[in-house]
A and B are shown apart, each in its own frame.
Chain A
Amino acid sequence: MLSISVQDLKKSFSGQTVLDGINLTVEDGEFYALMGPNGSGKSTLSSIMASVTQYDSGRLEIHGKIPEQARGMIAYIPQENFSVPQLSGRENLVYFASVLGIGGRDARSLVKQLIEKVGLTKDADKQFSHYSGGMKKRLELATALFPGVRVLILDEPTTGLDPAARRDFFSLLKNIKNDQTSIFLITHLGSDAEWASKVGLIHKGKIIAEGTPATLCTQYAPEEAITIETPAQGKDCEAILKVFSNEQKIAQTPNGYRIYAFDGGQVLPGVVKALNQAGINVNRTEVAKPTLEDVFFKLTEHRMQEVQIQ
């Protein structure tokens, strides 16, 4: 069964089109990540799904209902924290439980369980404003565990978290997710999107590619990137490297060059040997598998700090 169904969804602000005919579906229990740069319309889409923002035209259904009627099934975790700073973690959860219609002893016993699940038992009675960034996110993730929640919408939840806290957050998310709950994650980071089972790439208000992370990498960025750091940068070096690179593509990096090959591991020894024979020293080499960010850059023809050499 479909958890989220979006058809030809359009939204514009002051005449500027933000979402230009979005089509996507999320199955029951699926973890879908929508990846795109700032200003691509991904946060607008998430707020529309959470019924915070109205859309102009198109169709959007959450478990067969319009978002306003499906509010009890949606847990929306916006980019910024939303808990009440003056209340403790426990009091915040009791408050949000009451908003969902759960009160009294039921709420208190439920909140106790949720706090244990997200690992905040010791700090449950601390004021929310005294929590660390990671603890705040974990507490807010607990609001997704209230009974009846079937769709979790996360809008860049790891913003401001260090790598360890980010990993903890996604591990926790994987652990607490049950088969019934669908997750819709908004992110601009490929490393976050790789946790998902399906990824959509959004650019200028349109979905430009969709699939599993592995499929997207194979389909759109099949080559591995070989980075060669060398102090001797010049035409001789470039000529040697072009021979080994797929379609003779070569990019200059701050400390050397980057070439592309379908099987980097096999090509690399030959590259190093050829450079050494030409008297060029190699300081460091690295073979990197394509990531979702490479796919995104390829599809949108962006380049990061690289100068393409014609």
Chain B
Amino acid sequence: MIQVLGTFTKTFKCFLRIRAVSIFTVIFPMFLLLITVVSLNKNISASDLPLAKGVLTIDMIAFSIMLAGVLNLAGSISRDRETGVLTKLKSMPIRPWQDFLGRIMAVGLLSSGFGIVDCCWNSYRCTV
């Protein structure tokens, strides 16, 4: 378990510190989807506009971020291969599944964080 937690901490810190990864995982999908929705507004009827702006946009943003987070998992493995971390890990007493689980947990935390925000937002809208 210590190995899994160690990998989780490392992966999560790397995610937060590599600016390019953070931008492309979080900000870029948001920006892209906001642009898309705004450009689609012309074809949306006035009565459906609040729905499109509200639920659809937020859902799509959350989904995109979750997807980008999962894609980042593959990136983290290739990054570790390039920096020699994987070679070192091969010579250490960590099983591949422990390393992989730690990485998935980091991605899972990020994705589920946005998923929870999305759910809360939708629940709030339904309540209102």
Contacts and interface: CB of A to CB of B under 8 A. Distances in A.
Q: Which of A83, A84, A153 has the most CB atoms of chain B within a 10 A radius of its CB?
A: A84
A127 B10 CA distance: 13
Contacts of A103: 2, 5-6
Interface string B11-35: 0011001100000000000000000
Given A71-B92, A86-B17, A87-B10, A78 B87 contact: yes
A83 B10 CA distance: 11
Interface residues of A, number: 30
B45 interface: no
B6 A78 contact: no
A99 B5 contact: no
Given A81-B83, A99-B6, A101-B3, A91 B93 contact: no
B6 A95 contact: yes
A80 B45 CA distance: 60
Nearest to B90: A52
Contacts of B2: 98, 101-103
Contact of A52 (B13, B80, B91): B91
B84 A91 contact: no
A83 B87 CA distance: 11
Contacts of A51: 90-91
Interface in A61-112: 71-72, 74, 76, 78, 80-87, 91, 94-103
A50 interface: yes
B125 interface: no
Contacts of B84: 78, 80-82
A87 B14 contact: yes
Contacts of B80: 84
A271 to B, nearest CB: 52
Interface string A136-166: 0000000100000000010000000000000
Contacts of A78: 84, 87-88
Interface residues of B, number: 23
A176 to B, nearest CB: 19
Nearest to B2: A103
Contacts of B18: 86
B9 A95 contact: yes
B88 A82 contact: yes
Contact of B87 (A72, A82, A91): A82
B3 A86 contact: no
Contact of A82 (B10, B14, B85): B85
B89 interface: yes
Contact of B91 (A74, A87, A94): A74
B87 A101 contact: no
A47 to B, nearest CB: 8
B13 A96 contact: no
A87 B13 CA distance: 8
A100 B83 contact: no
Interface string B93-127: 11000000000000000000000000000000000
Given A71-B92, A86-B13, A95-B6, 14 more contacts: A76-B91, A82-B87, A84-B10, A84-B80, A91-B10, A98-B2, A98-B3, A99-B92, A99-B93, A99-B94, A100-B93, A101-B2, A101-B3, A127-B17
Interface of A: 50-52, 71-72, 74, 76, 78, 80-87, 91, 94-103, 127, 143, 153
Interface of B: 2-3, 5-7, 9-10, 13-14, 17-18, 80, 83-85, 87-94
8 contacts: A50-B91, A78-B88, A83-B83, A84-B14, A91-B13, A99-B6, A100-B92, A100-B93
